[in-house]
Amino acid sequence: MNISIIGTGTVAQLVGAKLMEAGHQLVFGTRDPDKTLARTEPDGFGNPPFATWLKKHSAAKLKSFADSAKHGELVINATGGMVSLAALEAAGHDNLADKILIDIANPLDFSKGFPPSLSVCNTDSLGEQIQRAIPKAKVVKTLNTMSAYVMVNPKLVPGDHSLFLAGNDAEAKAAVSTLLIEAMGWQAKNMIDLGDITMARGTEMLLPIWVRLFSKLGNPIINFHIAQGQAPSKA
């Protein structure tokens, strides 16, 4: 499948590499490909620039947001949540229309330092904002409640742990579930379809506790597991 990843950071690179291993053709989207390839300094987290990654994954291509989105039969938003709407607008409504758009971003606002706050929550979410902005896209919110290392290799976390999906289109969610099972090794039994795109509010609001767990434990290889018991019978 031809897949477009909007974004070139660490999350985009890890997800892209895993999808390429599964045989998919990847085109990454950035605002200015020449500037992206010219960068030689590490990113804010000390990771190598995209040009270094691309040399090791030469089958991947780098194009503008619009050209990348045009290529993809399926599109993944792996940009920072604070710039996601602008990046997807640049990708073009027509290029995203009728396509599955997997949103793995979170609206984390680092403007006041660490830990970040959420730029939108409670009564709205980034996933909903994207769906409203691009109504013809089939937005599926998923993978945003864990680190990219766990996204692409769930076996890093022992035992069962949960993957949430939210979106308005049932067929799109089913297609995304199949992709995550076949390409990344997720198990259907650990996937929880929360419902429509408004459910993205809940998954995005998990991030404050995830960030604090990461800070406390010093380990990003963590995830949530939803364990169910039997409700007590009424007297």
Do 126 and 84 form a contact (C-beta atoms < 8 A)? yes
* Correct CATH for 2-217 of 3.60.20.10, 3.90.1510.10, 3.40.50.720, 3.40.718.10: 3.40.50.720
Domain boundaries, the chain: 2-217
CA distance 169 to 172: 5
Listed as ranges, residues in the chain with pLDDT below 50 are none
The C-alpha angle with vertex 91 and arms to 149 and 146, in degrees rounded to 5, equals 20
pLDDT attached to residue 44: 73
pLDDT attached to residue 37: 95
Name 223's Cβ contacts closer than 8 Å, sequence gap at least 6: 145, 146, 150, 154, 157, 161, 162
pLDDT attached to residue 235: 66
pLDDT attached to residue 233: 84
pLDDT attached to residue 41: 87
